[in-house]
Amino acid sequence: MAINRVGLIGFPVEHSLSPIMHNAAFKALGMYDWLYDAMSIPPDILRLGLREPRDHGYIGINVTVPHKEAIMAYVRPDEKARAIGAVNTVDFRSNIGTNTDADGFIDDLRANDVSIAGERVLVLGAGGAARAAVYGLVGAGAEVAIVNRTRSRAEALVEHLRVSAGIGGLRLMTPNEAADWGMSLIVNCTSVGLHPQVHQSPWSQNLPFPAGRIVYDMVYRPATTALMRQCLAHNGRAIGGLGMLARQGAISFELWTGVKPPIDLMRRVLQDALESAHKD
């Protein structure tokens, strides 16, 4: 039986949950001739390393840290990837690179019945995940403001989205300004709160936390972050980033296979894997 291969490149990739998620979906759909595996490629040999999946007939790959930007030189980035400035999915049949983070994030907000159009949304962070979030939120009709520890990086994000996607009207704020802004949704796109720094929150303890808001935390290790707890303690609603992880993967899955993936199963498999990792 010829195997249809897809996979992940990154450095490191050993802790990635993508192989478990995609292989569970293949199995559930009886797609026994499909296999997803992970390849660790150091940054200095990315170009050479890409020959490995290409020469071995891989249909496509996901791309994770630290290659999401560098790989744009070796594939044909589509409009979305150019706008976000990063590729996380490649189809080797066309050599097109795309980015599924923005759609995965917006899909998950919608799956959780979070209103976006016309809403004020505060984005914390200014890295690659923030670029995808802002791009997706503006596309869905939100009014977006950004807070980041390093202001110059937030300025660079605003400039990038202006030039690459024609997005204007983004606001940069200090944490104090943001606290009074009256947003309905706060999206954490920083890595603050990520295991093992589970007690840290990107919302300073010295700032009052606005009541009754929704927090979407892209961090999914742990399932409930310190920021989510702050929000819940102030009569808010908190959603972790596991659904986004499943949904951005599901978009890649459908792109490569042409088959609709079992998203609920993929999410459950991710949750089980994280829970069992915590028991170790």
**Among this protein's residues, is 68 annotated catalytic?**
yes
Task: State the minimum distance, in angstroms, from the CB of residue 87 to ligand NAP.
Answer: 13
The residue among 51 and 137 lying less far from ligand NAP, judged by its C-beta, is 137
The residue among 248 and 257 lying less far from ligand NAP, judged by its C-beta, is 248
The residue among 128 and 136 lying less far from ligand NAP, judged by its C-beta, is 128
The residue among 125 and 261 lying less far from ligand NAP, judged by its C-beta, is 125
- Residue number with the smallest Cβ distance to ligand NAP: 127
Task: State the minimum distance, in angstroms, from the CB of residue 107 to ligand NAP.
Answer: 11
Task: State the minimum distance, in angstroms, from the CB of residue 125 to ligand NAP.
Answer: 4
Binding site for ligand NAP (CB under 6 A): 101, 125-130, 148-150, 153, 189-192, 194, 202, 218-220, 241, 244-245, 248
3-state secondary structure the chain: CCCEEEEEEECCCCCCCHHHHHHHHHHHCCCCCEEEEEEECCHHHHHHHCHHHHHCCCCEEEECCCCCCHHHHCCEECHHHHHHCCCCEEECCCCEEECCHHHHHHHHHHHCCCCCCCCEEEEECCCHHHHHHHHHHHHCCCEEEEECCCHHHHHHHHHHHHHHHCCCCCEECCHHHHHCCCCCEEEECCCCCCCCCCCCCCCCCCCCCCCCCEEEECCCCCCCCHHHHHHHHCCCEEEECHHHHHHHHHHHHHHHHCCCCCHHHHHHHHHHHHHHHHHC
Task: State the minimum distance, in angstroms, from the CB of residue 157 to ligand NAP.
Answer: 9
Q: Which of 27, 68, 80, 279 is catalytic?
A: 68
Q: Tell me which residues are annotated as active site.
A: 68
